[in-house]
Structure 1
Amino acid sequence: MDCNHGIYYTYSDDEGLTWYNNAGNLVADTRKGEVLSVETPGLEAVHVPTTLRPSNVSHNSVIDTKTGDYHLLLSHNTSSEGPARVHHYVGDISGKWQKRVSGFTASNVTLTFLGDRLFAFAGRENAAIYYSDRADNFTEWHEVEMPNVDSKFGKIEGGYITWDLSLLSQGIASIIWQHAPASNGKPSPIYVYDFELGKSETDK
Structure 2
Amino acid sequence: MQVMKWIALLPLALIVACSTSGPLSSDRRTVAPIRTIPVDEEAWPKFNWAAFDQDKVISYGDFQYSAYWDVDKILVVTRRDLRDHSVETLRLEKHFLTINPDDRHRNIVLGISPGDGRLHLSWDHHANDLRYTKSRAGLLTDPPASLSPEDFESAQPLTADAPQRVTYPRFLNDNNGRLFMMYRSGGSGNGRTVVAQYDSAKGTWTVSSGYLFGSEGTYVPWDSSESRNAYLNEVLFDRNNRMHVSWTYRETGASWASNHDLHYAYSDDNGRSWKNNDGQQIADLAKNDAIVLDDPGIVVREIPVYSWLMNNCAMVLDSRNQPHLVHYQLPGTYRPKKLAHNPPDEVRAQLKFFHHWREPDGSWRSSGPLELPAGMTITRPDLVVSAKDDVIITWASNRGFRSLVASARKKWKDWELVSLTGPEYTSNNACKHDRWLLRDRGIYSFTADPNGLKEGSSGYAILDFDLTKLTSVLR
The verdict on how the C-alpha distance between 1:178 and 1:4 changes in structure 2, with shifts beyond 3 A counting, is: farther
Pairing partner for 1:136 from 398, 410, 414: 410
Q: Verify the 8 A CA contact 1:118 1:133 in the aligned structure 2.
A: yes
State whether structure 2 residue 425 is matched by structure 1 residue 156. Answer: yes
**Deviation of residue 163 (structure 1)?**
4.7
Q: Deviations over 1:28-70 (max 9, x none)?
A: 1223221123x2422222111112110114x21112123x332
Alpha-carbon separation, structure 1, partners of 2:473 and 2:330:
33
Q: Deviations over 1:174-193 (max 9, x none)?
A: 4421647855xxx6333334
State whether structure 2 residue 291 is matched by structure 1 residue 19. Answer: no
Alpha-carbon separation, structure 1, partners of 2:413 and 2:425:
27
In the TM superposition, 1:89-128 aligns within 5 A as 89-101=356-368, 102-104=370-372, 106-116=378-388, 117-123=390-396, 126-128=400-402
Local SS of the residue matching 1:31: helix
Q: Verify the 8 A CA contact 1:161 1:177 in the aligned structure 2.
A: no
Q: Verify the 8 A CA contact 2:307 2:330 in the aligned structure 1.
A: yes
Give the partner amino acid of 1:95.
G
The verdict on how the C-alpha distance between 1:189 and 1:157 changes in structure 2, with shifts beyond 3 A counting, is: closer
Pairing partner for 1:41 from 295, 301, 304: 295
* Superposition TM-score, scaled by structure 1 size: 0.77
Runs of 4+ in 1 over 4 A off after TM superposition: 158-161, 180-183
* Superposition TM-score, scaled by structure 2 size: 0.36
Give the partner amino acid of 2:371.
G
**Deviation of residue 77 (structure 1)?**
0.7
Q: Verify the 8 A CA contact 1:87 1:99 in the aligned structure 2.
A: yes
**Deviation of residue 128 (structure 1)?**
1.4
State whether structure 2 residue 191 is matched by structure 1 residue 191. Answer: no
Local SS of the residue matching 1:156: coil
Q: Higher relative contact order by CA 8 Å / sep ≥ 6: 1 or 2?
A: 2
Local SS of the residue matching 1:87: strand
Give the partner amino acid of 1:138.
W
Give the partner amino acid of 2:271.
G
Give the partner amino acid of 2:287.
K
**Deviation of residue 71 (structure 1)?**
0.9
Alpha-carbon separation, structure 1, partners of 2:275 and 2:417:
36
CA RMSD of aligned residues (A): 3.0
The verdict on how the C-alpha distance between 1:6 and 1:115 changes in structure 2, with shifts beyond 3 A counting, is: same
Structure 1: runs of 5 or more not aligned: 149-153
Q: Percent identity among equivalent residues?
A: 18
Deviates more, 1:191-200 or 1:80-89: 191-200
Alpha-carbon separation, structure 2, partners of 1:110 and 1:32:
35
Q: Residue 133 of structure 2 aligns with which residue?
A: none
Q: Verify the 8 A CA contact 1:178 1:190 in the aligned structure 2.
A: yes
Pairing partner for 2:324 from 71, 77, 89: 71
**Deviation of residue 8 (structure 1)?**
1.2
Q: Verify the 8 A CA contact 1:121 1:129 in the aligned structure 2.
A: yes
Q: Residue 308 of structure 2 aligns with which residue?
A: 53
Alpha-carbon separation, structure 1, partners of 2:322 and 2:411:
11
Alpha-carbon separation, structure 2, partners of 1:99 and 1:167:
29
Alpha-carbon separation, structure 2, partners of 1:63 and 1:146:
23
Structure 2: runs of 5 or more not aligned: 1-254, 335-346
The verdict on how the C-alpha distance between 1:170 and 1:63 changes in structure 2, with shifts beyond 3 A counting, is: closer
Q: Give the number of equivalent residue pairs.
A: 193
